[in-house]
Amino acid sequence: MQSRFLLEISVESVDAAMAAERGGAQRIEFCSNAREGGTTPSRELMKAVRERVNLPIFSMVRPRAGNFVYTVKEFEAMRREIEAAKEFRMDGVVLGLLDADGAVDIARTKQLVELARPLPITFHRAFDECVDLRASLEDVLKTGATRLLTSGGKRTAPEALDALGELVRIAGERLIVMPGSGLHAGNIREAVAKTAAREYHGGLSSVVAKPADNLACFEEEVSKFAAALRDFD
């Protein structure tokens, strides 16, 4: 039975993507270097995951780990990475740019949103480094992004459920606010109750040590997560 909630699972390997699909995920966020917050996967990995996974796949576009203030050269790399995502039939793109003041870089993000069309854009947790989340939510809207992945300004989503609920309420139908970081089957009930979000994101590293190396356990935790969301239907 399909849940009215959507579960996105973040992975960094083809095998983990396949395990997430078997476990009941409805969408994949695909990246490399997950321990560093995720970077752009190689063209070879995008090609391989598209050949093996039927779920919608959103590819990370992040040329390096570290902060989210990018040079001209890095911005051009992001443009090329978006073109690669389109070439290898990704279903969406995940990115985030800030300016030197730590605010959403509206102008350059908007350029990437336009380049990616018709693929939808998720603005990722670069957002959580912004000082004023309410104002930054409006900035994300101005970029044309359709989705915001956020932990509510805290290290993990369970630490910021009230703030996440406020962001969901403020966004309304204008933008999908997707809580993520630290969510799993054991705490998703409280997250749903307090945020009223309709989409949730998890990498499950908080409950599975090295998910890419423990695929059976990872698949089981994805299954539990998906089942917990279905319990609300």
> Taking the chain (233 residues) in consecutive chunks of 10 residues, what is each chunk's mean pLDDT?
85 97 98 92 98 98 96 98 98 97 97 98 97 96 98 97 98 98 97 97 92 92 96 79
Question: The whole model's pTM is what?
Answer: 0.96
Find the radius of gyration of the CA atoms of the chain: 16
pLDDT at 105: 98
Q: Is residue 120 part of a domain?
A: yes
Q: Is residue 39 part of a domain?
A: yes
Taking the CA atoms of residue 185, residue 188, residue 189 and residue 192 in that order, the dihedral angle to the nearest 10 degrees is: -150
pLDDT at 198: 97
Q: Is residue 1 part of a domain?
A: no
pLDDT at 88: 98
pLDDT at 2: 58
Q: Which of 152, 98, 149, 102 is nearest to 121 (CA)?
A: 149
Q: Is residue 124 part of a domain?
A: yes
Give the whole-angstrom CA distance, residue 122 versus residue 146.
6
pLDDT at 179: 98
Q: How many structural domains is the chain composed of?
A: 1
H helices, E strands: number in the chain: 8, 8
Which residues are CB-contacts of 64 (< 8 A; sequence separation ≥ 6)?
Answer: 39, 74
Where residue 67 sits, what CATH number does that domain have? 3.20.20.380
Q: Is residue 109 part of a domain?
A: yes
State both tokens at 213.
């190396």
Q: Is residue 14 part of a domain?
A: yes
pLDDT at 209: 84
Residue span of the structural domain in which 37 resides: 6-230
pLDDT at 165: 98
